[in-house]
Amino acid sequence: MHSLRCQPKPGSSKSLPSKLSVSLKGHTKAINCIDWSPTHAHLLTSAGMDHTVHVWNLWDKGNTTACVLKHHTAAVKDVRWSPHSLSLLSGGLDCSVQLIDVVEGKVIKVFKEDQAVEVIKFNPSNPSLFLSGGSKGSLRLWDIRSGLVTEEFHRSLGTILDIEFSADGRQFISSTDTTRSNISENTIIVWDVLRQVPLSNQVIGL
């Protein structure tokens, strides 16, 4: 896809601009998430309440919209680039996470959930694994190759608001909507990935 691989003009500056350089327009409703490609610095993706995922090429000033992906049937809450390829993971209120080949614009695999998917993250030490968190408080570690859940992390939680892996992928931290769980110490939890247990349930920085 040419629009994904458009290169900057010779002599263009690599320094950060001091003023607005480009305005990206395309979503028709609120945008929930944006993510830069770790392998292609000119590509940005965004997920919106309009059921779509947009891929933007910031080097193609004539047409910054590289592609629009319409594979979800409800609002898309999160989207993440694969660490090593031109593919995306997107998750949303249709209770699915979808792996998408951006170049072909096709869904490679669908991971079905029993909850609205609020957040997803690749494991930084193993890009074949990703973590999902959702509206019922479930946290699941998936294997892209098999399409199956490899680990589940159980605790009476409200909606998962955010998750973040440690640099080595051995632990992750989750934040929770306490209005659903009514347990304040479950706000922020550090988890051990291999043992599937919480290492800490301290309320951090609140």
- In 49-168, which ranges are E strands? 53-57, 65-69, 76-81, 87-92, 96-101, 106-112, 117-123, 126-134, 139-143, 148-153, 160-165
- Residue pLDDT, tens place only, 175-190: 987 665 555 555 888 9
pLDDT of residue 60: 82
Question: Which residues have CB under 8 Å from 19's CB, separation 6+?
Answer: none
The SS3 call for residue 153 is: strand
pLDDT of residue 22: 76
Same fold yes or no, 29-112 and 116-206: yes
pLDDT of residue 203: 44
Q: Residue 41: is its pLDDT beyond 50?
A: yes
Stretch 88-117: mean pLDDT, rounded? 96
Q: Residue 170: is its pLDDT beyond 80?
A: yes
Stretch 107-121: mean pLDDT, rounded? 97
Give the residue extent of every domain in the chain.
29-112, 116-206
CATH of 29-112, one of 2.60.120, 3.30.70, 2.60.40, 2.40.10: 2.40.10
pLDDT of residue 67: 92
111: left (phi over 0), alpha (psi -120 to 50) or beta: beta
Topology of domain 116-206 in CATH is Thrombin, subunit H (2.40.10)
Q: Which residues are registered as beta bridge partners of 45?
A: 35, 55
Q: How far apart are CA 137 and CA 115, in angstroms?
A: 9
Q: Residue 9: is its pLDDT beyond 80?
A: no
Q: Which two tokens stand for residue 83?
A: 């660490």
Return mean pLDDT, the chain: 86
Q: How far apart are CA 74 and CA 82, in angstroms?
A: 22
Q: Which two tokens stand for residue 203?
A: 């309320």
